[in-house]
Amino acid sequence: MHLRDIEKKFTARFDAQDRWIGALRNDSNDQRHLLSLEINSSNRKLHTQITAATIDQIDMQREVKELNAKVDAISMNLERVKRDVEATKEAIRHQLFEFQSQAQANQNILHAQLSEPVDYIHGADKKGESSSRVPQQPSNVQIGDRAVRPPTFAQRVDMAQRRIVETVLDADSNRESLERQAAAERDRERRRREARMLKRRRRF
């Protein structure tokens, strides 16, 4: 009986030890499985973060390229606007010079046209003082086979007045044309400034 009791005790101890070892093995397997799951989850998170960082870097590079392209386009537009402004200034200076030259020429023509009837009047007054009161009719001028009567004083004054009016109208027309061109250029420059301001607002 005593040996059987000892055998039972040892058998019970061995069974308890086997159960403890089995439980320890199961717990170790569970820990290993949980650790593997955590490692896989960490790897997935790390991979996701790396992918997101790569995408952000690609997006940033694309935005930098787009910004550089916009800066280059703005620089080109500014250079084009500068060239247009310089060309417009040169054209306006040329037009003003032509207008001044035309105005001076018109003034010279006007002076000559006014001098002609004035000289004629002064000459007629001097002739009237030395001649009789009856005015002499201008002699006919022979042109070809027919005689052409030169224009009378009234006709010459009328022609001079018409030439003066035409000269003044031409000068006014030239001035109005230059004013329209200058106004159109100011309007184009205003639209350019508004377009640049709109681009800046859209950019920010």
pLDDT, residue 138, reads: 45
Residue 141's H or E segment, with its range, is: strand 141-143
Ordered by start, the domain boundaries in the chain are 2-118+148-203
d(CA 151, CA 161): 14
d(CA 95, CA 6): 130
pTM for the model? 0.32
Alpha helices in the chain (DSSP H): 2-130, 153-203
Confidence of residue 133 (pLDDT cuts 50, 70, 90): very low
Phi then psi for 150, rounded to 5 degrees? -65, 155
- Of all residues in the chain, what percent carry a pLDDT higher than 70? 71
For residue 171, pLDDT over 70 is answered with no
Residues 59-98 pLDDT 10s:
888 888 888 888 888 888 888 888 887 887 788 788 778 8
SS3 call for 134: coil
d(CA 187, CA 192): 9
